[in-house]
Amino acid sequence: MNKYSASPERYKTMNYNRCGSSGLKLPEISLGFWHNFSANGNYENMKAMCFTAFDGGITHFDLANNYGPPPGSAEVNCGRILRNELSRYRDELIISTKAGYDMWEGPYGNWGSRKYLLSSLDQSLKRMGLEYVDIFYHHRMDPETPLEETMLALDQAVKSGKALYAGISNYDGPHMEEASEILSSLRCPFIINQNRYSIFDRTIEKNGLKNAAKRHGKGIIAFSPLAQGMLTNRYLGGIPQDSRIKTDGRFLHEDDLTRDRLAQINALNDLAAQRNESLAQLALGWVLKDSDITSVLVGASRPEQLTDNLQIVNRSPLTQEELDRIDLICGLEKH
């Protein structure tokens, strides 16, 4: 069986954005392993998605210790693909992982203690068969552990050579600023925030994160830009029997698709059609509408979805009139 060889055209179309004021650039589109890389997934399909991504210039694969199910299985599958198919391209890839959510039993397998974070990173490296990850994130704010302890653990991860850069995820603006000050005093290369952001979820605009990241010269990578599939053509006519709502139900529920929400989805789809785009392309382009967002994370269940998403690289910028129309559809006031 022939080994995978990457397309020689892979860097010709993708845009790469500098991550805040750091030296690292990320592709506009990054591949998330949150869904569809579990122990129950189809390995050949996983490989095909990674190949399609890399051939399209997607150099960043994003994971976390608990991605699965079971927890850890996405890292195992990523490691298998890296080892068997992509090992010669390691220096062309950005591999990130996180720790912060429940991972193993007992008091040391969750949140933000030094014990948990550094142990988790060691476990992640072992599962992926890597000597280091490019970015190591604290996955969520911990209301009990002192923030300084958590940031010192990220600093130790970097200075030990097990991570090249530090990141934080699901932090609000004030806590991000405090974290940035601690890491700056340690001369630790903290460069990126990972947060949920979409047309339907604008929390980072309300909690100060987006403005704080800009002030401090930090990048933002957005996850769930398609609102768990709501901002795709999957639900234009209702809820299909094979949809994530019906087959999974962990992150998107039937109650989320109210009559008003379905009307919004269809109105946004009409706007996308006027732009000769799919609804997903419109939604991804909206997230990337300004330079505050470094990259957008997409999850896919098949390579064709990635091919569709990659079309946004050549998108036409949204006009102010279109942005205002999107806000109006969502019941928001003009900028």
Tell me the sheet residues that pair with 269: none
Residue 256 confidence (pLDDT) above 80: no
Instruction: Give the helix ranges, DSSP H, for 166-296.
Output: 173-185, 203-206, 209-216, 244-247, 259-274, 279-287
Helix H or strand E encompassing 295: strand 295-298
Name the more confident of 225 and 228.
225
- For the stretch 8-20, pLDDT in tens is 999 999 999 999 9
pLDDT at 245: 58
Residue 250 confidence (pLDDT) above 60: no
pLDDT at 210: 98
- For the stretch 18-45, pLDDT in tens is 999 999 999 999 999 998 999 999 999 9
Q: How confident is the model at residue 249 (pLDDT cuts 50, 70, 90)?
A: low
pLDDT at 298: 97
In the predicted model, what is the mean pLDDT of the chain? 94
DSSP assignment string, 126-152: HHHT-S-EEEEEE-S--SSS-HHHHHH
**Of 96, 98, 94, 78, residue with least CA distance to 26:** 94
What one-character DSSP code corresponds to residue 190? E
- For the stretch 58-94, pLDDT in tens is 999 999 999 999 999 999 999 999 999 999 999 999 9
> Residue 176 corresponds to which tokens in the numbers above?
């991000």
Q: How confident is the model at residue 242 (pLDDT cuts 50, 70, 90)?
A: low
Q: How confident is the model at residue 246 (pLDDT cuts 50, 70, 90)?
A: very low
- For the stretch 181-218, pLDDT in tens is 999 999 999 999 999 999 999 999 999 999 999 999 99
Residue 254 half-sphere exposure toward CB, CA atoms < 13 A = 6
pLDDT at 254: 67
Give the Cα separation of 180 and 215 in Å (integer). 11
**Of 60, 57, 58, residue with least CA distance to 12:** 57
Which residues lie below 8 Å from residue 148, measured CB to CB, with a gap of 6+? 182
Residue 227 half-sphere exposure toward CB, CA atoms < 13 A = 26
Q: What is the pTM of this model?
A: 0.94
pLDDT exceeding 70 applies to what percent of the chain? 93
Walk me through the domains of the chain, giving residue ranges and CATH numbers. Answer: 16-330 (3.20.20.100)
pLDDT at 209: 98
pLDDT at 241: 56
Per-residue buried b or exposed e for 286-321, using 16+ beta carbons within 10 Å of the residue's own CB: bbbeeebbbbbbbbbeebebbebbbbbbebeebeee
